[in-house]
């Protein structure tokens, strides 16, 4: 992408003018507001700071957002970033441009605040060496996004040997690497089978990966996430080494290898990326009170063995639950009798209503996605689709009402066009205001495909021979920011949730709940092929011990600021097989709860053995509502302070505690049953121990609990005075 500009101000002015020009062309070729009243609305575009964030503060060259600070010192890049008062950087970030065997030393770097508002601050830093000028424009937003645009502008052609941007992350922070999935250039989407490698504990060895839109370095409390949309103006010889994570004694360096071989700069080179220090926002304690499951067939999960008074229960309803015409869109017919019955049934059952939706897959039964197809599509829908839609508009066919390959007739959408955000935000605001929906649920939630819409021109004047990609992650964030501001202004208690293949650590500021885990069926099946599993059901082994431990331990933490929930993959597509193997079905379901209860994360409940759900919920109900005095003490902390000590090395213990009551989660990770002896070093005295599911007495002698733990499973023991 060429920018012959010499300053950040001119760069943004140029980009704004270009965006207006593109928008004008698109709208000139599109139906107008008389046909689509939602077009060109400004819902959610107010320049304000929504709850729970606080305004951006400015103190010299130190900038504050909720829970975090970003510091410059007349520098191109931040010299320090903190989260919850923890320094994330071991040293200042730096540009490293090599020429003639040595790094270029830019002189007289100056940082200036270009603009400041409560929701956003924009900075510009400039510096130069003979023949080459560098300008960085940094935008800091209220949710902690630090978006950095780096421009290298040569006065005349200049040779460089390499160009790296180095982010030295503190070793105390960089315990775990969590990254996006690699790209499959055959399937033209992210590679699901890469999930086994996506999260790993760092062991001192360097890690090199291809260009991808997200890389995170985290511990259990704080972290730093790097994001980028495109590698258009990168130039690297080895596609597998675009990004590197290099552990060292002083820091773990996240390295952007923008240029990795000698090149001549004869045009302005533009590189843009963002950093998100986590947590992104204060964790909403209401989410710990919420149980979430699909409506319809899985609604029974809410009806058996669980108290309505202890937890709040939300049902996600699929279109089939009430014969919805516009699958995935929040457009309801109030005269639809099935819809009214569904809402009335939820009210009787004291269930909150969330309609199924899709973020980046649009329903072409609705007229807008058909009319805006050329502007919105992410990848072509196929030659037959536009012809079919044309026949539908002419009244020649009703085929669009039928589902195609398990999805409605439609296509994948790119995040970039504003008109798509206009469309989605408008209809969700109407649904929140008029239909009083209690939440939003997005399937197809994250960007997994590089845009192939030739009308969008994302990749302009690319450099290098590497595959050039565009993932609309920043455009995705902007749409969700609009949605958050607009809908929560109508109903501040609204819950926004999204299904993702693999939990993003940095791009979920505007999510309450992220549901992940469906992709684990690739591990259980050994391939992404659903047809192969249906052909040979016995090949599907939903054993969560097969999942890399780091993925299970770090993908569902609260410490990113949102609630990350596991979507169970026990039942999958072989329900008849499990009916013939009920003991196996129950075993794998209980084993999954061993992980969930031990790690303190919640689930999208369903698609597993019903009694397993009931048992876990009955145990948790014993602790009552999640009031402020209730805490969860994870096994990782328990292994440090030994407040509850196990005798067997295969036993891990976490507990939920409130004054006068403790729920022990005793997890046996071994292959054999054990007679466990648990020593209590908890404050207070307990006179009684009971099985939290069955109510049977468990032996308690002074500060010692004796309990038999089944192999690979768990038991929940309630301690009371």
pLDDT, tens digit (0-9, with 9 covering 90-100), for 297-306? 666 666 666 7
Residues 311/616, Cβ–Cβ less than 8 Å: no
- Asked if the bond preceding 52 is cis, omega within 30° of 0, the reply is yes
pLDDT of residue 357 exceeding 80: yes
In whole angstroms, give the CA distance from residue 372 to residue 419.
9
- Asked if the bond preceding 477 is cis, omega within 30° of 0, the reply is no
- Residue 571's nearest CA partner among 527, 518, 617, 615 is 518
pLDDT, tens digit (0-9, with 9 covering 90-100), for 676-700? 999 999 999 999 999 999 999 999 9
Distance of CA 702 to the CA centre of its chain: 45
Q: What mean pLDDT is predicted for residues 340-359?
A: 92
- Residue 60's nearest CA partner among 68, 72, 75 is 72
Q: Hey, what are 141's tokens?
A: 């937003």
Q: Hey, what are 174's tokens?
A: 């960089």
Structural domains of the chain ordered from first start: 8-30+53-278 (2.70.98.30), 285-621 (3.20.20.80), 631-720 (2.60.40.1180)
In whole angstroms, give the CA distance from residue 434 to residue 277.
37
Residues 217/224, Cβ–Cβ less than 8 Å: yes
Cβ-Cβ contacts under 8 Å for 101 (sequence gap 6 or more): 161
Across 1-10, 422-431, 494-503, the highest mean pLDDT is recorded for 422-431
Q: Hey, what are 420's tokens?
A: 């798509």
State the pairing for strand pair 183-184/189-190.
Answer: antiparallel
Q: Give, as one character, the DSSP assignment of residue 435.
A: S
Q: What mean pLDDT is predicted for residues 66-85?
A: 99
Neighbours of 155 (CB within 10 A): 11
| Lowest-confidence segment of 29-38, 106-115, 609-618 by average pLDDT | 29-38
Task: Decide: residue 321, CB within 10 A, 0-12 exposed, 13-18 middle, 19+ buried.
Answer: buried
Neighbours of 508 (CB within 10 A): 29
| Lowest-confidence segment of 119-133, 386-400, 675-689 by average pLDDT | 386-400
Q: Hey, what are 455's tokens?
A: 């009308």
Q: What mean pLDDT is predicted for residues 1-27?
A: 34
Phi/psi for 45 (5° steps) reads -100, 10
In whole angstroms, give the CA distance from residue 362 to residue 408.
9
Q: Is the dihedral of CA 540, 541, 544, 545 positive or negative?
A: negative
Neighbours of 574 (CB within 10 A): 21
Residue 460 pLDDT grade (very low, low, confident, very high; cuts 50, 70, 90): confident
Residues 97/131, Cβ–Cβ less than 8 Å: no
pLDDT of residue 362 exceeding 80: yes
pTM of the shown model? 0.93
pLDDT, tens digit (0-9, with 9 covering 90-100), for 173-224? 999 999 999 999 999 999 999 999 999 999 999 999 999 999 999 999 999 9
Residues 6/153, Cβ–Cβ less than 8 Å: yes
Phi-psi region of 528 (alpha: psi -120 to 50; beta: other; left: phi over 0): alpha
349 or 596, which is more confident? 596
Residues 503/216, Cβ–Cβ less than 8 Å: no
Q: State the number of CA atoms in the 13 A half-sphere of 550 facing the CB.
A: 17
Q: What mean pLDDT is predicted for residues 240-261?
A: 98
Report CA Rg, the chain.
Answer: 27
pLDDT of residue 409 exceeding 50: yes
Residue 399 pLDDT grade (very low, low, confident, very high; cuts 50, 70, 90): low
Structural element, H or E, at residue 182? none
Q: Hey, what are 197's tokens?
A: 């490698």
């Amino acid at each position: 992408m060429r920018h012959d500009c010499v300053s950040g101000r001119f760069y943004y002015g140029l980009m704004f003018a270009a965006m207006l020009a593109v928008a004008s062309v698109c709208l000139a070729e599109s139906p107008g507001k008389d046909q689509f009243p939602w077009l060109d609305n400004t819902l959610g575009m107010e320049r304000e700071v929504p709850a729970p964030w606080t305004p951006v503060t400015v103190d010299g060259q130190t900038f504050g957002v909720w829970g975090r600070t970003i510091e410059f010192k007349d520098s191109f890049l931040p010299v320090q970033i903190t989260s919850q008062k923890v320094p994330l950087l071991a040293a200042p970030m730096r540009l490293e441009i090599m020429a003639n065997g040595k790094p270029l030393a830019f002189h007289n770097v100056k940082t200036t605040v270009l603009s400041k508002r409560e929701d956003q601050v924009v900075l510009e830093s400039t510096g130069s060496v003979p023949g080459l000028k560098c300008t960085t424009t940094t935008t800091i937003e209220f949710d902690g996004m630090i978006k950095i645009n780096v421009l290298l502008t040569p006065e005349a052609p200049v040779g460089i040997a390499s160009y790296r941007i180095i982010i030295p992350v503190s070793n105390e922070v960089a315990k775990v690497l969590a990254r996006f999935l690699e790209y499959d250039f055959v399937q033209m989407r992210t590679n699901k089978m890469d999930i086994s490698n996506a999260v790993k504990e760092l062991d001192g060895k360097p890690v090199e990966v291809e260009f991808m839109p997200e890389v995170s370095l985290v511990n259990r409390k704080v972290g730093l996430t790097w994001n980028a949309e495109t590698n258009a103006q990168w130039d690297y010889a080895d596609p597998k080494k675009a990004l590197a994570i290099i552990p060292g004694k002083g820091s773990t360096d996240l390295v952007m290898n923008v240029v990795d071989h000698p090149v001549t700069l004869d045009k302005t080179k533009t590189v843009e990326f963002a950093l998100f220090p986590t947590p992104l926002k204060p964790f909403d304690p209401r989410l710990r009170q919420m149980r979430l499951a699909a409506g319809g067939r899985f609604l029974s999960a809410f009806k058996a063995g669980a108290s309505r008074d202890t937890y709040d229960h939300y049902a996600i309803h699929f279109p089939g639950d009430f014969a919805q015409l516009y699958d995935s869109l929040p457009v309801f017919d109030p005269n639809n009798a099935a819809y009214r019955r569904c809402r009335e049934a939820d009210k009787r059952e004291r269930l909150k209503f969330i309609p199924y939706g899709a973020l980046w897959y649009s329903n072409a039964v609705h007229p807008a996605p058909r009319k805006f197809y050329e502007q919105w599509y992410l990848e072509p829908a196929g030659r037959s689709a536009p012809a079919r839609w044309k026949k539908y508009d002419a009244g020649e066919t009703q085929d669009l009402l039928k589902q195609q390959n398990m999805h409605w007739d439609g296509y994948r959408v790119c995040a970039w066009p504003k008109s798509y955000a206009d469309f989605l935000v408008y209809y969700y605001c109407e649904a929140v205001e008029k239909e009083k929906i209690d939440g939003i649920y997005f399937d197809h939630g994250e960007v997994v495909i590089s845009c192939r819409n030739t009308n969008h021109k994302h990749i302009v004047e690319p450099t290098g021979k590497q595959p050039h990609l565009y993932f609309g992650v920043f455009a995705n964030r902007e749409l969700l920011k609009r949605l958050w501001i607009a809908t929560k202004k109508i109903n501040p208690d609204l819950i926004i949730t999204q299904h993702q293949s693999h939990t993003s650590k940095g791009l979920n500021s505007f999510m309450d709940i992220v549901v992940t885990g469906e992709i684990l069926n690739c591990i259980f099946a050994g391939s992404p092929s659903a047809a192969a599993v249906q052909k040979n059901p016995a090949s599907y082994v939903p054993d969560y011990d097969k999942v890399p431990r780091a993925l299970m331990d770090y993908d569902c933490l609260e410490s990113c600021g949102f609630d990350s929930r596991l979507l169970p993959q026990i039942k999958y597509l072989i329900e008849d097989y499990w009916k013939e193997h009920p003991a196996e079905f129950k075993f794998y379901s209980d084993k999954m709860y061993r992980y969930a209860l031990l790690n303190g994360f919640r689930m999208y409940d369903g698609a597993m053995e019903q009694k397993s759900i009931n048992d876990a919920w009955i145990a948790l109900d014993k602790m009552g509502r999640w009031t402020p005095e209730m805490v969860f003490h994870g096994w990782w902390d328990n292994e440090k302070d030994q407040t509850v000590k196990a005798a067997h090395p295969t036993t891990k213990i976490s507990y939920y505690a409130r004054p006068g009551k403790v729920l022990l989660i005793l997890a046996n990770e071994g292959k054999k049953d054990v007679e466990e002896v648990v020593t209590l070093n908890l404050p207070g005295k307990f006179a009684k121990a009971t099985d939290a599911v069955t109510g049977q007495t468990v032996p308690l002698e002074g500060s010692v609990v004796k309990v038999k733990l089944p192999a690979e499973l768990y038991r929940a023991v309630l301690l009371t005075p």
